[in-house]
């Protein structure tokens, strides 16, 4: 029987009806996390991340509301390495422009915390959250709180001597954000959907693709952290070379993978090409399959389409020497590609035993 003719009636999870409000809540938080990733990209691309040298997680909701407060905050920035070594030309009006994005980034993070905590309390007090879900929701809350601390830990790396955040800490910060996004999507899907159960043939492939996307994204974080997108702005060759001539200049050799801009950009290119090839091969397999659920097929098509857009964004961003709009779109595209891969993996996982409590 062909895929188009065989009957398809996916079973719903046992608690789908009662879990639906919880799923919608988590989906809303996932959208906010996605926007946070985009805002974080803009903050980095506008070089705004080191403009706020104070971390006031409980009382930092409001921006400076008076001229004396603005001058106080600006004076703190003037004592930072970034101002003294890079932005000593700035006036307070210039400072206000870079302050905006870092302020928005931090406030949006706090709003995500509120959007998670308040509905959680309402749903919990009304008995809409099953006992079996509490460990997962608690883990999500802890990850969110940890991410706030990681963000400040990252910023602090640029407030000491070198006016640039550590590329290692940046990669960790982005990785945790994507982990939170993936966990939210996976949990929300599991509350209201049941995989078809016949598409396990694609599961290993889906797992491999998800890992490749994650590695590509982390490699991109190192490109961002080292400003490696501002060199070798040609494609497919790197200024006429397949491998850049300065690929290896640091000892030991492995340090080039993380601290040599030329090597970091080359590796990101190669991993991205391998990842895209893996996704296209998954699509080819799905198109040839005679037994595949329509939802699985749709998820794989969406993943391939998003991956193609992401490749185009990456090349365009490189050729244009990383303008803010394209750079932010590329970072958002990475999050959407990962989200699509999570959807594919979910659909190919097959039904699993679910807690009844």
pLDDT reported for residue 58:
63
With CA atoms as reference, report the closest residue to 225 among 213, 217, 233: 217
Q: What is the pLDDT of residues 284-323, one digit of tens each?
A: 999 998 888 888 999 999 999 999 999 999 999 999 999 9
- Give the list of residues 6+ apart from residue 48 with CB closer than 8 angstroms, or none: 42, 98, 99, 100, 101, 102, 105
What are the sequence ranges of the domains in the chain?
15-193, 194-357
Provide the 8-state DSSP code for 245: T
**How many angstroms separate the Cα of 306 from the Cα of each of 106, 208, 209, 280, 333?**
28, 17, 13, 11, 7
Give the whole-angstrom CA distance, residue 249 versus residue 193: 51
Do 165 and 157 contact (CB within 8 A), yes or no?
A: yes
pLDDT reported for residue 353:
37
- Using only the alpha carbons of the chain, give its radius of gyration: 23
pLDDT reported for residue 354:
42
The per-residue pLDDT string of the chain (357 residues; one tens digit each, 9 = 90 and over) reads: 444 444 455 566 666 667 899 999 999 999 999 999 999 999 999 999 999 988 776 667 888 889 999 999 999 999 999 999 999 999 999 999 999 999 999 999 999 999 999 999 999 999 889 999 999 999 999 999 999 999 999 999 999 888 899 999 999 999 999 999 999 999 999 998 877 666 678 999 999 999 999 999 999 999 999 999 999 999 999 999 999 999 988 788 999 999 999 999 999 999 999 999 999 999 999 999 888 888 899 999 999 999 999 999 999 999 999 999 999 999 999 999 999 999 999 999 865 434 344
Give the whole-angstrom CA distance, residue 317 versus residue 26: 32
The angle that helices 324-347 and 203-225 make with each other, rounded to 10 degrees, is: 160
- Give the list of residues 6+ apart from residue 22 with CB closer than 8 angstroms, or none: 123, 128, 129, 133, 188, 191
pLDDT reported for residue 9:
52
- Got the DSSP string for 329-357? HHHHHHHHHHHHHHHHHHHTS--------
Give the whole-angstrom CA distance, residue 115 versus residue 106: 14
Provide the 8-state DSSP code for 11: P
Residue 237 tokens, joined: 């060759």
pTM passes above 0.95: no
Do 285 and 3 contact (CB within 8 A), yes or no?
A: no
Give the ranges where the chain is alpha helix by DSSP (H): 16-45, 67-78, 81-85, 92-125, 134-156, 167-192, 203-225, 256-259, 261-288, 294-319, 324-347
End-to-end Cα distance, the chain: 38
Return the bridge partners of 238, or none: 241
pLDDT reported for residue 67:
93
With CA atoms as reference, report the closest residue to 342 among 291, 289, 306, 290: 306
């Amino acid at each position: 029987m062909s895929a188009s003719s065989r009957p398809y009636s996916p079973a719903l999870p046992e608690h789908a009806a009662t879990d639906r409000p919880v799923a919608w809540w988590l989906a809303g938080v996932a959208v906010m996390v996605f926007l946070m990733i985009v805002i974080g990209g803009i903050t980095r691309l506008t070089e705004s991340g080191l403009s706020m040298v104070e971390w006031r997680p409980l009382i930092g909701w409001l921006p400076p509301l008076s001229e004396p407060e603005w001058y106080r905050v600006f004076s703190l920035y003037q004592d930072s390495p970034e101002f003294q070594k890079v932005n000593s030309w700035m006036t307070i009006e210039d400072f206000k422009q870079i302050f905006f994005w870092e302020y928005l980034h931090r406030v949006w993070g706090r709003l995500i915390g509120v959007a998670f905590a308040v509905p959680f309390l309402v749903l919990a007090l009304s008995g809409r959250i099953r006992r079996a879900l509490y460990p997962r929701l608690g883990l999500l809350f802890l990850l969110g709180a940890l991410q706030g601390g990681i963000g400040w830990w990252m910023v602090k790396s640029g407030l000491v001597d070198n006016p640039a955040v550590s590329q290692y800490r940046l990669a960790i910060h982005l990785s945790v954000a994507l982990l939170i996004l993936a966990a939210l999507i996976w949990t929300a899907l599991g509350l209201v959907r049941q995989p078809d159960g016949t598409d396990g043939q694609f599961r290993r492939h889906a797992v491999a693709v998800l890992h490749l996307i994650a590695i590509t994204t982390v490699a991109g974080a190192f490109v961002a952290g080292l400003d490696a997108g501002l060199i070798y702005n040609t494609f497919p060759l790197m200024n006429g070379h397949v491998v850049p001539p300065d690929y290896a200049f640091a000892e030991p050799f492995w340090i080039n993978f993380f601290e040599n801009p030329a090597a970091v950009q080359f590796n990101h290119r190669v991993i991205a090409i391998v990842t895209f090839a893996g996704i296209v091969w998954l699509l080819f397999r799905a198109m040839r399959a005679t037994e595949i659920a329509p939802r699985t097929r749709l998820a794989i098509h969406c993943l391939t389409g998003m991956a193609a857009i992401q490749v185009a964004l990456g090349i365009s961003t490189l050729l244009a020497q990383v303008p803010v709009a394209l750079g932010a779109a590329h970072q958002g595209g990475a999050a959407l590609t990962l989200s699509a891969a999570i959807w594919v993996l979910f659909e190919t996982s097959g039904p699993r035993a679910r807690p009844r409590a």
